[in-house]
Chains A and B, each alone.
Chain A
Amino acid sequence: MNSKKKNNIVFLFLVIILPIIALFHLFSGEIAIPFSDFYSAFTDFDSENTNQIIVKEFRFPRLMMGIIAGGGLSVTGLLMQTLFNNPLAGPDVLGISSGSSLFVAFTLMSGIPFFNSDFGTIISALIGAFAFGLLILAFSMVVKSHISLLLIGIMLGSFTGAFVSIVQTISNPEDLKMFIMWAMGSLQHVESSQLPIIIAFFIIGIISCFFVVKSLNALVLGENQAFMLGVQVKYIRIILIAITAVLTGLITAFCGPIAFVGLAVPNLVKLLFKTQSHRILLIGCLLIGSIFLLVCDIFVQLLESSIHIPINALTSIIGAPFVILIVLKRLA
Chain B
Amino acid sequence: MIDLKQIEIGHKSPLLTIDNIQLLKGKMYALIGANGSGKTTFLQSIIGINKPLKGEVIISGEPILKLNRIQKAKTISFVGSKFDGVDYLKTKDFIALGRTPYTNAIGRLSVADLKVVNETIELLQLQVLQDKFTTELSDGERQLSAIARAITQQTDIIILDEPTAFLDYANRKKVMELMKKISIELNKCVIVSSHDLELCLESEIDLLVVSKKRKELTFHRANSLTKSELIEIGF
Contact = CB atoms under 8 A, between A and B. Distances in A.
Real binding pair: yes
Interface stretch (A111-119, A171-179, A251-259, A268-276): A268-276
Contacts of B47: 228
A229 B153 contact: yes
A231 interface: yes
Interface residues of A, number: 24
Interface string A227-260: 1111110000000000000000000000000000
A229 B89 contact: no
Contacts of A277: 93
B88 A230 contact: no
B69 A232 contact: yes
A146 interface: no
B101 interface: yes
A214 B105 contact: yes
Nearest to B89: A276
A181 interface: no
B5 interface: no
B78 interface: yes
B73 interface: yes
A221 interface: yes
A97 B47 CA distance: 38
Given A214-B106, A232-B69, A270 B97 contact: no
Contacts of B90: 275
Contact of A87 (B73, B87, B93, B105): B87
Interface of B: 47, 49, 69-70, 72-74, 76-78, 80, 83, 86-90, 93-94, 97-98, 100-101, 103, 105-107, 133, 153
Interface of A: 87, 210-211, 213-214, 217-218, 220-221, 224-225, 227-232, 270, 273-277, 279
Given A224-B80, A230-B101, A275-B93, 7 more contacts: A225-B80, A228-B47, A228-B76, A228-B78, A229-B97, A231-B100, A274-B88
22 contacts: A213-B106, A213-B107, A214-B100, A217-B107, A218-B97, A220-B86, A221-B97, A224-B80, A225-B80, A227-B69, A228-B73, A228-B76, A228-B78, A229-B97, A229-B153, A231-B69, A232-B69, A275-B90, A276-B88, A276-B89, A276-B93, A279-B106
